[in-house]
A = this chain, B = another copy of it.
């Protein structure tokens, strides 16, 4: 972070390996549960070498969070005020569920962070997330005023979409245990279910 963007080939490669390894470890054990030794070993580097690229454990975590925040908020950004209300929201559900399926570690990284009071991303909440959500909630409210969506509290609608989609990444072990499966086939079922759930309650 404070270090200038990776420039040499080696810097590029190792920084990437570190962030990749850190994502593995942080998402599995949380910030305090993760150790530099674990991250270094996963990345195939020695601990001092790891600390040559990032000044501290904090810095690695911060770099990860910053990098992922954009990807994470992207689907909500894509919600288009000029599209068809119901389909726009269902598309958002689909995109969020795809993130859970394709980037479960990222989802768990955020979940871990928020669960523990989000001590390291408070500013992102108030400065990025809240304005974005307020903006999109206003669009949804307008659609409801126009009678193009059934009336519901827009913020809570967004919460329910986050909750239901992220559940499949964050509580993966529970989902698998309850369904008695080890494959990932339940994502297709989940999509069908969620689309049905939200379509029925949103259609005016």
Contact = CB atoms under 8 A, between A and B. Distances in A.
Interface of A: 28-33, 108, 111-112, 114-118, 122, 125-126, 129-130, 133, 150, 152-153, 155-157, 159-160, 162-164, 166-168, 170-171, 173-175, 177-180, 189-190, 192-194, 196-198, 200-201
A126 B177 contact: yes
Contacts of A164: 159-160, 163-164
Contacts of A180: 130
Contact of A152 (B122, B173, B178, B193): B193
Contacts of A190: 156, 159
Contact of A32 (B32, B115, B197): B32
**A-side interface mostly:** helix
Give the oligomeric copy count: 2
A115 B170 contact: yes
Nearest to A126: B177
A163 B173 contact: no
22 contacts: A28-B116, A28-B117, A29-B30, A29-B116, A30-B112, A111-B170, A114-B170, A115-B170, A118-B174, A125-B174, A129-B174, A129-B177, A150-B200, A153-B189, A160-B193, A160-B194, A160-B197, A162-B171, A163-B166, A163-B171, A197-B201, A201-B201
A202 to B, nearest CB: 8
A29 B112 CA distance: 9
B189 A129 contact: no
A190 B189 CA distance: 26
Contacts of A153: 189, 192-193
Nearest to A124: B177
A179 B196 CA distance: 27
A134 to B, nearest CB: 8
